[in-house]
Structures are given as C-alpha cells and as structure tokens.
Structure 1
Amino acid sequence: MKCPEDQKVQCAIFFLEDRGTAWWETAERMLGEDVNKITWEQFKESFYAKFFFANVKYVKQQKFLNLEQGDMSVEQYDAEFDMLSRFAPDVVKDEETRTEKFVRGLRLDLQGIVRALRPTTHADALRLALDLSLYERADSSKATGRGSTLGQKRKVELQSDTTPQRNLRSRGVF
C-alpha cells in the first residue's frame, strides 16, 4: 500500500488488531498531545521493540543474509526477500545494495544472465529473473513434450522394423 510519509503512522494504526490496538491506545495515553508528533521511524522502532524480541529479529536478519532462491520460484523468492529485508535495513540501505543482494541470491543459472544485463534497480532485476524463468519453464516443457513424443515414435518404428524381418525369415527367404 502506497502511503505518504506523513501519513504512514495513521495508516499503520488503522491496520492494528487486538494486542496491537491495545498497545497503541496505551501509547496514545502516555504520549498525550505529542502523539501527533511521532514519526514513522519512531513508530516502527517502538512497535518492533514491543512485538519482535531481539532474538527473533536476529534470526530474521540471519535468514535474510543467507537467503537464496534454491527450489523457490522467482515469485516466492522475491516475496521472501521483501519480507525478510525489513529486518535488515542496513543490508539493503539503498537501491544498489538491495539489487545486488537480490541478484546474489538467485539460482546460479539465472544469476549469471541477470548480472550480465546489469539491472540498476531491484524491480529491473526481478523483471529480468521473471522473464528468464518463464522462458526456462516454457523451454523445458517443450523439450519434455518433444522427448516423450520422439520416444513413442521410436518404439513404434522399432516394432515395425522387426516384424517384417521375422516374417521374411519364416518364409525361408533368408
């Protein structure tokens, strides 16, 4: 959801539920009139301190640092990348480092081609990786289809080749 910087706190408050709502109501009472002066960064810091224990944040940071596409689709990898990157803002402090980290985590076959095309943004790298993976899927499904058809044709050809020879031999021609 796109939200202007000066309205992010209000947008976040709107989506709070249960314990989150109770936490914010307490914070409002404690802050009094200063509640309207709270910045997005202050809100996030306070929210994370309340709901994400330090060890959980550390585990998420480590998971992000070690994140690789592996068996995930590009879409799944990107979703995981976005979710975990929130816990390591220093690692992806600007678009260049974010893009580099994303590309480094791609499967090697995709990574090499995406790197060669030198994307300048995470969105560009994602688009390239998605295009390549779609092409790869289409190409492998064609190859699989051709392979099984060729295999079936060969079996039929082999059967038809051997049958006449037996008939010729049984008639005494050879």
Structure 2
Amino acid sequence: MRQRFLLPLLLLALAWSQELVDQILFAGQWNLPMGPGLPWWRLLSAPFSHSGFAHLISNSAVFLPLSWLVLSRGMRDYIAIWIAVLLMELPVVLLWPTASHGLSGVIYGLLGYLLLIGWLERRLLPVLLSLIAFWLYGSALVALIPGVSPAGVSWIGHASGFAGGLLAALAVHRDSAGQTS
C-alpha cells in the first residue's frame, strides 16, 4: 500500500530532475514537449517537461493530492488514467499546430476520473472522492473552455487529458461491473 502512494513522488522526481537539469545546464532551453513534427516519444516525455519552476510547482501542488485520491482506490485506476490520457493526447500531438508540455494533461485526467467515477459507481467512497475533487479543484474546469486559458497555456492539452480521465473512469467502471456479474 505504501509503495503505491510513493509512485506520484517518483514521477514528480522525474519532472523535477528534468527541470533542474534544464535550468542548471541549459538555461531553461531543454524542454521536451509533444507536438507536430516532433519525435513520437515526446508524448512520453512531455508530462515531465515544464517551462520553468513556477509551472512545475503549480503542477506539483495539484498532481500529488489528485494522484493520492485516485491511488486510494487502487493502482489499476491510476495506470488506466495515465494510459487513457496518453492515448487521448495522441491526436493532439499529430493534429494540433503547437507543442505543449507539463503534467496538466495528467492532472485534468485525474480530475476527470475522480469527478465521473463517483457518479458511475454511486457508492460512498467514490462519491466522497468525487465531491472532494470537485470542492478542491472544480474551479479548474473553466480552463477547459477555449479562450479562457491564458496565452501559451494549452487548453486542448487540458481538454484531452480530461477526456482521457473520463474514458478511464468508464473503462474501470465497466471492468468492475463485468467482474461482479
């Protein structure tokens, strides 16, 4: 159980290591975003690349609590979100005209998952997790609207991550319902 709660810390250590190397050795110019014309593997590196410490700190502060809320349900749910978010960001990489990076897509995936899973399962713990997530981070949903996010912030990355979280919730719920019948 304890190891599963250490996973988000390990993932953040990767992001912080990348940013430290970027800032110390490359003066903030070594970013690994995903986007058109960039190598496909950047889809995997983009969540760990940030545009500076302020970007990384703001993502870290939200990533940890949402990760721990999801992990309170299980590792399967957490992995499902990561996979669904990466799959939903594939069209963004191929079709969207600008590059993007950061943990925001995953954060919105975690939030989308938490908001939907309580409604789908209608059991006390999932509903409670949904309410906590909405209470803490519901105001972030406004950033899913095109034109609301500040210039330079990838609303499409947020929206694709959120859609990935919704798909993960549907898949996990469907799998759970199939196992109980």
TM-score normalised according to structure 2 size: 0.23
- Greater relative contact order (CA < 8 Å, ≥ 6 in sequence): 2
* TM-score normalized with structure 1 length: 0.24
**Which is higher, the Rg of structure 1 or of structure 2?**
1
